[in-house]
Copies of this chain bind each other. A is one copy, B any other.
Amino acid sequence: MTIGDAPVRVALLGCGVVGSQVARILVEQADDLKARVGRPLELVGIGVRTPGPRPGIDEALLTTDVEALVRREDVDVVIELIGGIEPALTLILAAIETGKSVVTANKALLAQHGAEVFGAARASDVDVYYEASVAGAIPIIRPLRESLVGDAITSVLGIVNGTTNYILDQMHTHGSSFADALAEAQSLGYAEADPTADVEGHDAAAKAAILASLAFHTRVNLTDVDCEGITGISTGDIAAAERLGCVVKLLARCSVSADGTVAVGVHPTMVPVEHPLAGIRGAYNAVFVESVNAGRLMFMGPGAGGSPTASAVLGDVVTAARNRVRGVSGPGESAYSTPGITDPGRVESRFYLSITVRDEPGVLARVAEAMARHDVSIAAVRQEQLGDGGYARIGVTTHEAPYASVRDVVSLLTATNDVHGDVRLLRVEGA
């Protein structure tokens, strides 16, 4: 607790893209922040891995003895912007154990060690806030935790990775290949040199675990998320989507299944152009929430970037600081429910299959029969000749079916002589 007129002392861990902006704002907006908190916010140290000056940063604040910084008795709030599991987890637990509130942007850590972190926070009666961990600047964590807490959320759909949304948007807008769109994204700073975490969907999956935990008052771990990235998306998929009046989005989908279990997945998905999420362009993010009483809500904004993410961090810092000043903590995580996770095979969806076949009599009948055998109902079919080589492409849109059934259809078809190459399979959103 902050006594008397003492400033609220803040320690920052990490001074990268986001950390440097947080440090900047703490200095530039000092007067406003003081007015809003009720006491000055004082940045007392910045823990970094490698020593040496950073532009715009007071070098006296930098330290490589990061553990000592988080354990300092006079620190009130620790901001963790290192990312990754270690040393972030050890440092955060040390901060909590020694009575500090924590503000973090660390999605990977919370998606895999959330239970431990929130349990420690509850035991120490400190706050752990993490708005910056999902959807950058967009307030979504606090609304889910505190605004929609009187409602029953039925689904959360999110475009929560700016890199992949930018790439897919480029593929639609310019007809680029995935490889070309990725290179463009990297050249503009929308994708990392090693883009794996983004394009394989892992980043979105961690965020999905966090969103689902909040929405359904339970603990969803990263390993519970059925995850598929966009590396396999072809120009043919993009064209097929457009023919169907859709755009391909990497969609994080969290919903309650018919049996009450919770389904959480990240998949490239065809989204109808009328859906609010279809219009999310470039590196923007959006989260679409459906609740029993509120109906359909959407939150939209910059999903990444130094300043946008820093905005979310500072919002949490001020809120945590206000609590410290008043000698209180906010309500902790509400994860009382144990609905269980839906087996990915049982998750129902509409699907689009693109099957390249020999253009011969009986092929379409056999494709249709394979679907019927696994009880997958066809909503629409389109067959078109592919050049003069004797091949055709059959595009099938299904009605709602369990993933396992559709997966079995794909296996069946792939094993036949009719089918050339792989069967492309994408989920389709909406009725």
A-side residues, CB < 8 A to B, are 21, 25, 29, 32-33, 35-36, 131, 137-139, 142-143, 146-152, 217, 276, 279, 291-302, 305, 307-308, 310-319, 322-323, 326, 328, 331, 334, 336-337
* Cβ–Cβ contact A334 & B36, under 8 A: yes
CA separation between A316 and B294, bound complex, in Å?
13
Min CB distance, A344 to chain B, in Å?
26
Give min CB distance, A292 to chain B, whole Å.
8
In the bound complex, CA of A427 to CA of B248 (Å): 37
What separation, in Å, do the CA atoms of A299 and B137 have in the docked complex?
Answer: 12
Nearest CB in chain B: distance from A267 CB, A: 24
Given known A293-B25, A296-B301, contact A217–B147 (CB-CB < 8 A): no
Which of B137, B294, B295 contacts A294, CB < 8 Å? B137
Bound Cα distance A301, B318 (Å): 27
CB distance from A124 to the nearest CB of B (A): 15
A319 to B331, CA, bound (A): 8
Residue on B with the closest CB to A150? B314
Can you add 14 more A-B contacts, CB < 8 Å, to A138-B297, A293-B308? A29-B152, A32-B152, A33-B150, A35-B336, A36-B217, A36-B334, A137-B294, A137-B295, A146-B319, A151-B315, A293-B310, A293-B311, A293-B314, A299-B299
Report the Cα distance A322→B137, complex, angstroms: 26
What are 30 pairs between A and B in contact, CB < 8 Å? A21-B293, A25-B150, A36-B150, A36-B334, A36-B336, A131-B147, A137-B295, A137-B297, A139-B147, A142-B143, A146-B319, A150-B311, A150-B315, A150-B316, A151-B314, A151-B315, A292-B307, A293-B307, A295-B301, A295-B302, A295-B305, A295-B308, A297-B299, A298-B298, A298-B300, A299-B300, A300-B300, A319-B331, A322-B331, A326-B328
